[in-house]
Structures are given as structure tokens and as C-alpha cells.
Structure 1
Amino acid sequence: MIMTITKVKAKNPYVVDCSKKPTAVKTPACREEETKGAAGDDSKIPSDFGQGKGKQTGRQEELDEGSYDSEADEGYDDSEAVEEVKLSAKRDWKESYVQQLPKWVKKLMGHIVLDINEEWSVQILGLQKPGTKQGLFNNPNGLRWHHGQLLVCDTNNNRIQILAKHYSYRSVDEIRFDSMTNAFQPWAVTVYRKEYYISDIGNNQIIICDKCHEILQTIAVTPDISVHSITVIAGFAVVTDHKGNKVLKYNKKGNLVAKYQGQGSENTPIKYPHSVAPASNGSILVSDANNHNIKVLDSDLNYVESFCAEGTGKGQVRYPQGIDVDARGNIYICDKLNNRIVKLGSNGNFLRNLFEGDLEYPTNIAVNPAGDEIAVSVFGNIARPVNQIWVFFKK
């Protein structure tokens, strides 16, 4: 079922309700963008965009022409229509709303906020097609929250974009290295004691740099290892080798000090370890994608236990990928093939499913300490890959 934008007088006049977050639209940077404009007639944004009731994006021809008849909606009460949109559009807009919007609205994609239920809203960053400008992505992967900023590994654009929440997630800085042997391709990033630890799949290495983006050290791994996800435990870098089916632990000198391949009482070799994250008790969480579970290792990479099993029920997953924890130790898992986020307690007990039916193949995730902002990179599908970050936040 695909949602369309149609002209109606009584109900459902609004599909994308931008006026719900006028402050997000009217940031200083956005005002400057409106003032400057962009090339082409479709960049003429209405001067009253996002101002007051009845002055929001609405009927199709008004959006396409970049004009707005303020008298047509004078005194219009949109509360009933907005409530109906919340209920009817929950799953409809996710596949095609970008293509249906006029070009001038697409230019504001980083500012569009959509309600998905009574508890959560989502802000869409980027477009479905890859882009090279700031705020656009080409194969975004690892995510990390750091002091209210969102770090995005923009892999095929050879950079890490740093997005500022108080600027409506606009890109305010980036980390890139142009002097590498091969192109810098960051897949994952984490922060430990003001230092960035980055897995660079383009050069098959771990990069450690300071807050000024000066490289402090690189850890080259052997050719039979393919670095993937990364976290830091007590100063040791822990990475997944997704092709070699291993989890590896390096000290800061670059020495391999421990590895895990599946030895242990569970007697199940790890298969395609996708992501790694630190648990609240100091242990290490690994998403074992092809075994459809989450493995728990101690700090020396010894097996402790496993969570989840293959399936679609509560506490079950299919091809789990990204994983993260909040300040309370709750565990969030990208349940890729079930198109949802699974939330577990710190001991692995099932709590709830999030955004079920609203995501399309979630692959990487970052959760802020309070657990009320969740950033997810979505894969889409092979025929129509998506280059977006969806930031869910509680109302």
C-alpha cells in the first residue's frame, strides 16, 4: 500500500506535517538557505512555510508550484486530519514518500519530522539516492552518539560526518584522511577518552585520532582479517572480523592479545559477526548474524552465554546486525530481516519490539544514554538501496 498526496478539503490535507517542528525548519542555517535559494524554479520555498495552523505543506499543486493560497485554509481546523494521518500513514509513507514530494521539499529533507505513533517521531536524514554534499550519504554504516552529536560513517564518501542535534542534525564537521595508501573507508567509529577509534575497511586498519582529527596511531591487521565493527574495552580495541568469523582484541601497541571464533561451552562457531558493543557489566556483546543470536563474551573474549534465537516472536531475531546499549544497560538490536529493533534488558530478557513495520532492513544503530534518541541506518534492499539515517526520538 503506497500513500499518495491528494487534494482534499475536509480530511487528510497534510501528509508531511512540517509545522509540528517549526524550530527545526527555522534554524539560522535554514533561514540562510531560504534566503539564498537554489538554482531552478522548484527551489522557491513559500515565505510562510511552517508558520502557524494551515500554513504547512499540503495540497499537491501548491507544493509543486511553490505557492500558497493563505485564504483557502483560513480558519481551517486540522486537528482531526492530523490524527487520522498518524493512524493511517504509519506504514504507508515509508517506501515512497520521498519520490512523491516536490523538489523544493526534498531540499529540506533533513528537517522533515514525521509522527509514527503516540510515543515516537522520526527525522529522516539524507535521501534514498547517494549524495556527496554535507548531510547526504553514500552507504552509511557505523553510528555513534557523542556529547549530543551523531557520528556517521559515510563509507563510500570516504568520511565520517559529525551531525549536530541543535542544528537539526546538520553536518558541522567531518573526519577524513586523504593521504592513505587506499581510499579511507570508515565502517565503524567509537570514542574513548577523547580519542576516535575508527575501523577503516579501505586500508584494513584501525585508526586512532584525537579530537582535532590528527592521527595518533594506526593498527594494521594481517591480510586474512577484515576489520568491521569496533568498540573499546579498558583501552583495548575489540573488532569483528566478519569474513574470518572472529572477534579480535588489540592493545594500543597494535598487538593481538585475544581472539574468539566459537570455542566455548555453546559449541557453535561464530558465523558472520556483524557488530560489537560493550555491555553495562564490562562484558562484550556480539551480534552473530548467521547464527541468529547475540553472544556475550568476557573482557578476555571467553564465551559466557547467548541471547535470542532465530524466529519472528518475542525475543527472537533473524540476521541480527547493529547493536548498542543505553545508560541503564538495555540492549538494542537491529533485527534486520524482521524489520524492527529488539529491546532487551541488561540480562537479556525481552522487553519490547520497536518500530516494527516502519523500518526496511535496519543495519546499524546508535542509542543515546537516555534511550530516547535512536539513530538507525537502513539498508533498503538490493534493488533499491537507501542512503538514509532515521533518527527516532520520543515526543
Structure 2
Amino acid sequence: MPHNTLPIHLLKGIRELTPSELERRLSEQPFFTDGGQWTSICKTRGLFFDLSQLQWVGLGAAVQLVLLVESAKKNDINVYIALPLKHFTNDEIESRNFDNDLREQIRRRRENANNFLKIIQFDKAIQCTHIIGKPEVLITEEFQFSSNDLSYNSFFSTFQTLYTDNKNINFSSFNYKYLFPITWINADINQNSVEELGIKFQEILSNIERGMSNIDVLSLKNVIISELLKNVREHAGENTKYGILAIGLLPTSVLSKNKNGRCLFYTSKIEENYTSWLINNNIDNFIEIYFGDTGIGIVSEPLKNAYKKKFKKKDNLNKEDVLKWAFDKWSSSKVEKNIRGTKGLYRINRIVNKYNGFFIVKTHELCGGFEKGGEFSFSVGF
């Protein structure tokens, strides 16, 4: 970073970390070139993700942000993270035009958001310590978001104070009944670690409150641990050896306790339809599972070439068709071999549909998946 130059300030003032809000705010800044590479200004100045005013956190959006940070770190970009401020800012203390009860309520919400980020291990995952020889991701809890004087010296001085873990707070305080926190998993994981991971998986998926059969729990566990990690090894590219995983079980009631009755989880029409179905049919609990990596993406050149060969296409491919085909059990990017696909996405989608869930894949700017009933939906975003 050039001397006396501040990093690009992102997510300033964000109150709710949700997929839709994250997409909207990140779309305002051109991070990537048309070729999908980080822009030179990002590499030169670095990135500052400002969560200092955050009051509510969605697990899925937190996972997405961690993946974005890992991608930046891989590309030698300096990354700075401000966690929600747990105490009052100097301006909040000095202000006479601020209702004391409201001020305390806002501060408490920020503190809760800070605690929840630590419970889901966002603060650990965001450091991406599995990437060696790259710039360290710096974290602070002391960023004074109301300061008008964001000077070079004052900014970097806030990153000299270490943050602390909140080990005595339980995830049940945040409505979660079960939680597998955000965890980086080595695609070359050994058998002992696979078994240990499988046990944690079953603790969440086998609960009686969601009612999955044992055979489907085992199938879903095996697909995610085996098939998807295999995909990371074989298809994500040379620079990607880790995938990220998070799972939660929480009551449906949290979906309807939002502003104007709208759910904060929405990132597509699929989620909106699913949420309405849960609430209207009095489904008490739902499971959320997130898995991802920062590899070359599902709609990669090898898969597009395989699609062209299979369907005898030449140019001007419809990316929606390619993404939809990725869910087919016979799809494969290995055109040189007469083999069937891994069936990972297909098998997950089959189980999810059986339990009236939805399955969304985000790859580069594409977002597509299947909702309850098997209808495919597609959109383009950040």
C-alpha cells in the first residue's frame, strides 16, 4: 500500500449483514475486471470491511464475506476488518441530542452482533490462516465509526489493540438450537478427521425437530464431506485446497421478526418463497447449510466446453443453461474421459427437495438453484 493511503472503505454504516444487503453494497464498488480478476486499485490500496455499526448477522452472509476475504488474501491484497463496536463512540457519549435508552439499545445490539460473530467463529475464519506467505488479515474492535477525522495514523492505530474471544456465550442465546461454526476444511482431510467431522454433522442433522431420516442424514453428510471436498481437490484449481462449511438449526419464528414483516435472509425469490412456505405451514425449525470455496467456480471453462460438446453448441453459451446442467447427475467437466459426473449437486438437491427445502449455488456473478417443488430459478448479481 502506498504511504499515507487508506484502504478502500467498504460496508460503511451497514446495520444488517444479510445476503441481499451484502450484494447491494458490494455491487457499488467495481472489485473485479471483466476477466474476473481483482482490480489494480484493490491490490494497491487494500480493502477495509467496516462492520463497526453492525446490529444483526446472518450466517450465510458471514460465510460469503469470509470467502471474499480469502480470495483477496490469496491475491496479496491487504485486508482490514472492523468488528461491531461494543462501547459508545466518543460522539455518542458527547451527544446531547440522543435518547439515552435508544443509545444503549443500539450499543447492546452492536455488542450482540459482535458476540455472535465470535460464536460462529467469523473472527477466526476471516483470518484465513491456512494461506501461508500472504498479508495478515488485521482485525479491530475499536474503530470509531462516527469520527470525521479518518486519518492514516488514526486508522491504523485502531488495529494495534488485540480483540478478545467471548468463550462464555452460548449459541442458544441467539436462537440457534444447534450450530457448526464457520470452519475451513482441508480437501485432503485424513480419515480420522473425516470421522470426527461426520459426528458433528450428525449431531445437527439427526435432531428430531427437523425429522430427517437416518439414511438421508448419512447421504447428505457423505455428499458434503466426500463429494464436495473431492470437487475442491479436482476442480477448484491449483490455488484452492480448502472449502468452508457452516451449519445451523434455528426456529422458523426468527424469519418473521423483522422490519415490516419481511425476512432479512432473502437473496433471491427462492428464499422468499421458501420462507413464506415455512411460516404458512407452521414448520417450527429449519436447517441452513453453507459450503463454498474460492476456486475457479462451477461454470468454469472446462464445464462450458463439456456442455458445448454434449449439446453440440458453438458460441454464445447461455450461462443459466450451463449452471442448470451442473445439477444433472451426468454432468462432468472431464470431457476427455467417458465417465459420469460426481453427482454431488444432484444428490444434495434430491435430498433437499425431499424435505421441502431449497438449494442455491452462487458462482462468480451467477446465482441459481432449485426451490421446493423442483423449479429452477436464476439471477445475476455481484
TM over 0.5: no
Name the structure with the higher helix share.
2
Q: TM-score, normalization: structure 1? A: 0.25
Q: Which has more strand, going by share of residues?
A: 1
TM-score, normalised relative to structure 2: 0.26
